[in-house]
Amino acid sequence: MAAGRRGPRGAAVATLLLLAAMATGCGGETPAGSGDPGGRAAAVGAGTAGTATVLPAAERRPAPDTAGRDLAGREQELLAYRGKVVVLNVWGSWCAPCRAEAGDLEALRAELAPRGVQLLGINVRDRSAGPARQFEKRYGLRYPSVHDPDGKLLLAYPPALLNPQAIPSTLVIDRQGRIAAAVSGPVTRAQLAPLVARVAEEPA
């Protein structure tokens, strides 16, 4: 089937492929191939890189109003960053791929902050904030992360874009508060930066 003419069967196949990639979760290797008949899901790198889905503006849905206390005890709310591009990263201190990507995420924050890009984490499955704060300190993370030990905040997101079982995961939220891109699995600075820059260049 040619790109741009995907029917219901093709859409279902693409969804199943994306969910299969997401289900690998922390510690599993996400295949680098896309296999998407419509071309929307594309590998963002090789090896253990996550699989990215970029949504056309007409297909984007508003992100849930994620809110809670961060690891320093301050209130955080996704809505407060409306007008900025937000990189929302789901992580846990217990997660080896999360440790592998942490330095690159902080480098991306420093690189893209002048362009109106904000990083926001959601820390999951750490029963107490102590290990997560040690993780932030070890990797020099200067962006806030909401502490969500039970992963309840993730349940409000479309599971095809943010599977609660797939840690780490990353979403790119556009300036209008809509989900513009999703990556299931670990990312690198080189892999994520073009996605974020693409969304940042869109008209507000």
User: Taking 80 as the threshold, does the pLDDT of residue 6 lie above it?
Assistant: no
User: Taking 50 as the threshold, does the pLDDT of residue 113 lie above it?
Assistant: yes
Residue 169 lies in a domain: yes
Beta-carbon neighbour count of residue 103 at 10 Å?
15
Averaged pLDDT, 36-48: 35
State the pLDDT at residue 21: 35
State the pLDDT at residue 126: 97
What is the per-residue pLDDT across 77-101, written as a single tens digit (0 to 9) for each? 999 999 999 999 999 999 999 999 9
Enclosing H/E stretch for 52: strand 51-54
DSSP per-residue letters across 88-140:
EEEE-TT-HHHHHHHHHHHHHHHHHGGGTEEEEEEEES-SSHHHHHHHHHHHT
Cβ neighbours for 107, distance < 8 A, ≥ 6 positions apart: 189
Residue 162 lies in a domain: yes
| CATH assignment of the domain containing 14 | 3.40.30.10
Residue 127 lies in a domain: yes
- Residue 159 is part of which domain span? 8-200
The answer, as to whether pTM is greater than 0.85, is: no
Residue 122 lies in a domain: yes
